[in-house]
Amino acid sequence: MNVLISPNAFKGTITADKVGEIIQSCIKERYPEYQTKIVPLADGGDGTCSLLTKVLNLEYEEFWTLNAYGRPIRGAFGWNDKDKTAYIDISVASGLGSLQNQHLDPFVASTFGTGMILQKAIERGAQHIVLGLGGSASIDLGTGILAALGILMLDEKGRELTPFSPNYLSKIKHIQFSPRLPKIEFTLLCDVRNFFFGKNGAIQVFGPQKGLNPEEADSFEKTCEEVLLKFYNKSKKEFIEEEGFGAAGGIAAGLSAFFPCEIKMGSSYFFKKVKLPEYVDWADLIITGEGKYDTQSKGGKASFELLQLAKNQGKKIALITGGDDLIEDDFDLIIRLPNLDFSKPDYASTAKLNLVASFKSNFNSRFWT
């Protein structure tokens, strides 16, 4: 029996590769004759490029940068010297996960620290940046990244604005190019298809999780519209909304004004890079999972996309997940995890114990025969 173990990360508790190791250990303990392969998944969300760096055995470079509020934090990128490509996650420096219980302020939060990582990669010789957009803490249209790369944001008197200053976006009145603007191309990995503007856009849907009060949403969106208009006027391009512009606080919308950008769904990109269809073809059964499988999962999350791939190849597939908003879909088996109390200090270790207990009590070889 060939078993492919391909989970996504259980957000906030267990990494994708660790989930895979736990499941593999449970299977081997009970069915040592089974052949198993672990191919952890990502879909453009938190840690996608970090996982790609590990799976593809790329070089990993680490150094100090700034978080979304200008405080020191360790940054990193994966490096493929053969094609001069750097793999960078927004979430490493500019993500919500690094802020813990810190007060959120979308009028201050910036992607400047991620821009500093990009600069390091460019100094290394990068000509192509693969940027994972999941888990961002800002709604800054990528202005922090752009400022770090040499696109200057000026106030009404022509003075350069300082990143992380309050109401940064509303102070932008002029745009100025640095004479040393790098010549790079971007592949932007998304785990959502949202446009930037409108009721299903970045501000209305994702603003609250980044600290934006609902009553501030309309005026904030108007400010963003004015800034984007300045960007596209400066670059002499027409602004045309694209799917994915709503990811990560409009980073794709901002970068696309000045650099060649290709927006891709992270799951499809990841599957192709790690040659997942070949593993699915090898497998007799597939086990996937994510912390919370719900209606948003159908928007391009890895577990849903793997389900489509498995069904297209006539393979059985099981899902391990938690949460109260589970949608059944077409999985052959669903293993439910108990809800966690995130207020308790041991929630991460409890999550691992729950995974072991739930899997062992539900994984029965007779199901697969």
Q: What is the pLDDT of residue 64?
A: 97
259 CB neighbour count, 10 Å cutoff = 20
Q: Sorting pLDDT into bands at 50, 70 and 90, what band is 101?
A: low
Cβ neighbourhood burial of 294 (10 Å; 0-12, 13-18, 19+): middle
Same domain membership, residue 279 and residue 212: no
296 and 332 share one domain: yes
**Residue 141 has what pLDDT?**
97
Structure tokens at 9: 């990360």
State the Cα–Cα distance between residues 318 and 81, nearest whole angstrom: 38
pLDDT of residue 362: 86
CATH of the domain at 243: 3.90.1510.10
- If asked whether residues 180 and 151 sit together in one domain, one would say yes
Same domain (yes/no): 103, 140: yes
Evaluate whether 231 touches 154 at the Cβ level (below 8 Å). no
Question: What CATH number is associated with residue 327?
Answer: 3.40.50.10350
- The percent of residues above 90 in pLDDT, for the chain, comes to 77
> Domain boundary at 212, 237, 267, which?
267
Query: Helix, strand, or coil here: 300?
Result: coil
Amino acid at residue number 128: H
* Predicted local confidence at residue 104, as pLDDT: 92
What's the one-letter identity of residue 250?
A: G
Section 59-70 average pLDDT: 96
In this structure, the answer to whether residues 260 and 289 fall within a common structural domain is: no
User: Does residue 271 surpass a pLDDT of 80?
Assistant: yes
Number of independent structural domains in the chain: 2
Does the pLDDT value for residue 63 go beyond 70? yes
pLDDT at 260: 97
pLDDT in tens, 162-193: 999 999 999 999 999 988 889 999 999 998 88
Same domain, 124 and 206: yes
Structure-block tokens of residue 16: 């994708």
Same domain, 98 and 228: yes
Does the pLDDT value for residue 13 go beyond 70? Answer: yes
Q: Could you tell me which of 311, 49, 286 has the C-alpha nearest to residue 189?
A: 49
Reported confidence tier of residue 153, pLDDT bands at 50, 70, 90: very high
152 plus 199 within the same structural domain: yes
Same domain? 210 vs 313:
no
H and E: helices and strands count for the chain? 12, 13
- pLDDT at position 12, please? 73
Nearest to 334 by CA among 350, 323, 347: 323
Within this chain, do residues 237 and 105 fall inside the same structural domain, yes or no?
yes
Specify whether 171 is located in the same domain as 195: yes
pTM of the model: 0.90
Mean pLDDT score of the chain: 92
Average pLDDT on 55-68 reads 95
| Count of CA atoms in the C-beta half-sphere (13 A) of 261 | 21
- Of 65-74, 115-124, 267-276, 293-302, the least confident: 293-302
Could you read off the pLDDT of 286-331 as tens digits, one per residue? Answer: 999 988 887 777 777 889 999 999 999 999 999 999 877 767 778 9
* Residue that finishes a domain, picked among 267, 286, 305: 267
Last residue of a domain, one of 249, 267, 285: 267
In the prediction, which pLDDT does 367 show? 62
Contacts of 13 (CB under 8 A, 6+ apart): 291, 340, 347, 348, 351, 352
* One domain, residues 114 and 227: yes
Strand (E) positions, the chain? 2-5, 35-38, 59-66, 72-80, 85-89, 128-132, 151-154, 174-177, 185-190, 261-265, 285-292, 316-322, 333-336
Domain limits at 212? Answer: 48-267
